[in-house]
Each structure stands twice: as C-alpha cells, then as structure tokens.
A and B are shown apart, each in its own frame.
Chain A
Amino acid sequence: MFFLIFKRFVLGLITLFIVSLITFIGVEILPGDACTSYLEREAFGEALAACIKRLGLDVPAHERYLSWAFNVIQGDFGYSLSGQMQINEVLGPRVKNSLVLASAAIIIGIPLALILGIITALWRDKMPDIIISTVAIFSMTIPEFISATLLILIVAIWLEWLPGIVIVPTDVTFFELLPNIILPVIAIAMIMTAHMARMVRSSVIQVMASDYIQMAILKGVPYWKMVFKHVLPNALLPAINVVALTIAWLLGGVVVTEVVFNYPGLGRLVIESISNRDLPVVQALGIILASIYVSINFIADLLTLMLNPRLKTLQTRK
C-alpha cells in the first residue's frame, strides 16, 4: 500500500519533469525566441540587447533550462515581459479568481451529478432518464462558448436578470466578485455535471446488474436500503477518477468560458499571454496547469486506494 502510493508519487514527479522539458523545448524550437516574438518589429539594437540580457538568452539552452527549472522548484517563475513584473505577482490574483470559480462549480456540480446520475440509473429508459439524459447530451456536446453566449443572450439581454459580462479589476475582493460569477458558474457546471452524471449512471447500472445485487434482491433486502448500502458504495468508487479528470479539465479548460464572460482568471491569462507573446508566462502557465492535473489525479488515486479495501492488500498494480 505504502509502496504503491510512493510509486504513484514518483511517476507524477517524472511526468512533471517531462512536462517541464516539453514546455522548455517547445518554446525553444518554435521559430523566434521570447525577445524577438515579444518586441516584433522593434526587435533590433538596444531594446533587443537589453531584453536578451534580462532574460539571459545569451547563455546556452541547457544552462538556461537548469537555472529556470531550479528557480521553478523554489517557486520563482522569473519576470513577465509585458507587465515588467514578477510572474508570481501576475499569477497570484488569477489563481485565486479561478479557484473561486472552480470551487463554486464543484460545490454545485458534484452533488447535482450524483443525484441526477442515480435517478437516471434507477429509472433507466423510463421518462426521467430519457429527459435528463437528453438534456445532458446537449449540455456536454455543445461548445462552452455557445452555451455561454446563449446564457448571456437569454438571461442578461432578453430577461435582464444578471450582468452579462464580468467588469471587475483582477484584484477584486471575494464578496465583490460573487454576484458576477453566477452565469460563468452555471455555464461551467452544466458541462461538468453532464459528464459526471453520465459516468455515475453507467457505473450504477453496472453494479445493479452484478451477482451480489441480484442476491440481495432475492434475499428480499428492501429496495432503498439495497441502493444505499450495497449499490452506491460500489458504484461511486470508480467515479472518483472521472471526477478528478473533470476537475482537472475545469481548471485548465475554462479558457473559453473565461474569455466569453471576461472573467479575470487563469484561463484569460492564457489568452492574454499568448496574444502578447509573453513566452515566460506561457511556460509558467504550462507548468502550473500540468501540476494541478497531476496532483488531482494523484489525490484521486490515493482516495481510491484508501476507500477500496481490496486494493489495500495488493502489493503491485498495473
């Protein structure tokens, strides 16, 4: 058990090391270095020399990687080109805003997905299942920018209930932010809930068809007692990994939603830094988003291991 956790942890670290190599080499082999792409037509003479000096582009690539990686481990991502400030200062409020958005979507999404998933599974192919599943297919297949645009059109423009876009500065306080996040949270939670509910549904259906549930039915265990005591604990275990993947998607993949609602989070920073060709920030974002993905998956693995007694006695797992 301990060995398994340790192995997972080391694999995660190796993945992150490869990610750091990919982001570094990727920026290196694409045409133009950080300075020429950022300065564009003014990339000559003193401005270029000063920029190269500041980013240390005059030293060989492998030395630059080592010093960059060493600083990143200590939590220092260097300087942003466009804002002339430390990347950590740029990232801080963005991470906070994205966390607010993500936690709100998770708090609404997970319980809703569980309830809907269980309902659709228990009333499989009946009216509730058909209605909920159809809505779920729509909300998970339609692109984020379409559902977000439609939400703005209907709720903000036609009904005039809520503000359509977020117009707050990046370093806004939590309570000022709150009324602005309702629409973005709905847009994100819709997709997330649909994916998770579908997973919960098929997992519950699988368990319902198993031998021990047939046995419980034949023994005459009351229906709801059987659902809560025998079906759900077994059905929800495999759902943990999907929830983890969905959360990881949520933190990295809300770029489009944040742009539609003009929300000052990490996603909009991705677009801003790429439009400004601010390559040091792009590298930092790559590493941060990948670390979030890897650590969430690691936590999900830990949870699965702890909750599944069958895996505790296993020494190795493929």
Chain B
Amino acid sequence: MENSKNIFNEDPKSSLVKVLDIITTMASKPSGFIGLAILIFHVTLAISSPWFAPYDYKAINPSLMLNAPSSEFWFGTDSLGRDVFTRTILGGRTALTITFFGSIIALLWGGLLGIFCGLVGGRIDDIVMRIVDAFLSIPWILAMLLIVSLLGTTTEVLIPALGFFYGKGIVRVARAATHDVIAKDFIVSAKARGHSNLSIIWNEILPNVRDAILVEGAMRWSWMLLGFSSLSFLGFGVSPPTPDWGLMISNARGLMSFAWWAVIAPIVGLSSLIIGINLTADAFAKALGIDRSTKAPV
C-alpha cells in the first residue's frame, strides 16, 4: 500500500526500519509480546542447547531407569535411563530446522505458482487449480505417511515432502491476493508498457501480495510443526535415538502412570513452541492488517 503512494518508489524508511516497526507493533499487545518472547526463547534454546546439555542424550543406563525428578536429574530419567532434561532441551532442534526450511519451500513454490495462476488466468489457471483442489481433498497425513514409509525418514525426504504438501494451500491464498490487485491501474499500465509477465510479477504484484503470503506462511509454519510432530509421534518422523518431542511423548506414553515426568517435559516443550508461533503469527497478521480468524484448518 505504501508503494502506491510513492510513485517514484523512494522509500522514506529503509526496510530494516520497517521490519523493526512491525516487530514493535506486534510486541505492543500482550499476546504478541508473549508469542515473540516464547519464539525467541525456543530459537535461542535450539541454537545453544548442545553447549550446555548436562548429559549425553543417547547414553543408556539401566541402573537409572525411570528416576523421579531430583537435583541430579532435573526432569527425571526415561525408561532407558536417559536424562529427560537433556533430551527435552535438545528435542526442538530437528523439528524447528525441518519445518523452517519446509515452510520456505512451501512459500516459494506456493506463492509463485499462485501469483502466476492469478496473473495468466484462463485454461492454465483452471487446470492448475483443479489439481490443487484434488491434492487438498486427499488427507495430508495419508500422503505424507505413504511417502515417508516408502522413501525413508531422512531430512532430504521430509523437507521437500512437507514443503510440497503445505504449499498447496498457499497457492490459493496467493492467487486470491493476486486477483485483488490484478485489475488495478498500475498493472494495466505495466501491461500496456509491454512489460513481461516475469517483470510484472516481480515489480508490480509481489510487493502488493507479499504481506498476505507471508502471513499465510507463518500460519503454515505452525501447522507444519504440528504435522511433523504428529509424524514423529506415529513413528514416521525422526528415527531414534535422536531427541524429538513427538517421539519422546510417544515413547513415554505407555509408562506415564508411573513416570509422568518423562511425558510432561516434552509436552510442555512442544505445546509452548506451537502456541508461541501461533501467537506470533496472529500478531504479525494484525500488525499487517490481515484477519486470520476466518480460516479453517485445511
């Protein structure tokens, strides 16, 4: 919106100042502040935890099985005698990394394909949207489980697969946002000046639909994290002994009647991260003036 005011495209503010402005707006409400704080805490923890983890996350010790929380083991030990505190602070690293890169892939292909379809319209648009609709109607979990069980649970499989399945929803959002600006004068005049489709997408449409796509991407990130943890929980995500919250919850669940600490610690870790990302995405959407609450889970 600001771009259309400055016809000479001279930004009064540098992009860094704009980003800081948005973050300040987000943090000015309590929910946004809490969300940002949780997210920053988790990212810092994920980056720094290998340096201060008190024990070896994969050291199995039968004599320490299912110890209750104590001054020695803050969160107790699990059924194989591993320190739950160590595994909990390391447990978000894989999930955060995989879903972060997965979201970027989803944003890139979903956003660009959506803008392209919105711009060209016609037969190509019809065909692509039918295929996207078909993919939307297949439950993601069925497709993900099939791919992972046949191709393996390595990072090289998980990142593109998650990126693909969470990008199809972005196609629709990007296409709708493009339809909103496509009839505006500056697009018509760019077409009249004879600009190529690529130049119109990059210079005219992208600055105008960027906000809507970024908000959608932030939302997809939290859904993807939820999806990835569900895969881990079902045994189709990371492979043991890698510490991961979903896997830890699924392993500790059977023994939770005597060792509740081994299941509560990863639950707190994963829930707080997902709530943090959600609150941040909400605040981000509000700071950019987009209402997120009318969306259904897809």
Contact = CB atoms under 8 A, between A and B. Distances in A.
B270 A146 contact: yes
A152 B250 CA distance: 13
A281 to B, nearest CB: 11
B233 interface: yes
A258 B279 CA distance: 28
Contacts of A149: 249, 253, 256, 263, 267
Contacts of B135: 22
Nearest to B277: A141
B30 to A, nearest CB: 10
Interface string A293-318: 11000000000000000000000000
Given A149-B253, A253-B139, A255-B141, A141 B275 contact: yes
Nearest to A203: B294
A167 interface: no
Interface in A278-294: 282, 285-286, 289-290, 293-294
B293 A199 contact: yes
A151 to B, nearest CB: 12
A209 interface: no
Contact of B138 (A143, A256, A274, A286): A286
Interface string B246-271: 10011001001100100100010011
B96 to A, nearest CB: 15
A128 interface: no
Interface string A235-265: 0001001100110010011011001100000
Contacts of A11: 130, 133
Interface string B283-298: 0000000010110111
Count class of interface residues, chain A: 35 or more
A209 to B, nearest CB: 12
Contact of B296 (A22, A23, A246): A246
| Of listed B142, B143, B246, B249, residue having the most chain A CB within 10 A | B142
A169 interface: no
A256 B234 contact: yes
Contacts of B147: 30
A150 interface: yes
B296 A274 contact: no
Given A203-B294, A290-B137, A270 B263 contact: no
Contact of A143 (B139, B150, B274, B297): B274
A277 B149 contact: yes
Given A30-B150, A202-B293, A157 B131 contact: no
Interface in A130-183: 137-138, 140-146, 149-150, 152-153, 157
A14 interface: yes
Contacts, number: 147
A294 to B, nearest CB: 5
Contacts of A16: 134, 137
Interface string B180-219: 0000000000000000000000000000000000000000
A81 to B, nearest CB: 14
B80 interface: no
A201 B294 CA distance: 9
Contacts of B43: none
Interface in A30-50: 30-32, 37
B230 to A, nearest CB: 5
Interface in A1-37: 11, 14-16, 18-19, 22-23, 26-27, 30-32, 37
B46 interface: no
A274 B297 contact: no
11 contacts: A19-B134, A22-B134, A138-B275, A141-B271, A143-B274, A195-B297, A252-B141, A256-B233, A270-B139, A271-B145, A277-B150
- Sorted nearest first, the 6 A-B pairs with minimum C-beta distance are A252-B139, A18-B134, A245-B296, A293-B137, A290-B137, A202-B293
Interface of A: 11, 14-16, 18-19, 22-23, 26-27, 30-32, 37, 137-138, 140-146, 149-150, 152-153, 157, 195, 198-199, 201-203, 238, 241-242, 245-246, 249, 252-253, 255-256, 259-260, 270-271, 274-275, 277, 282, 285-286, 289-290, 293-294
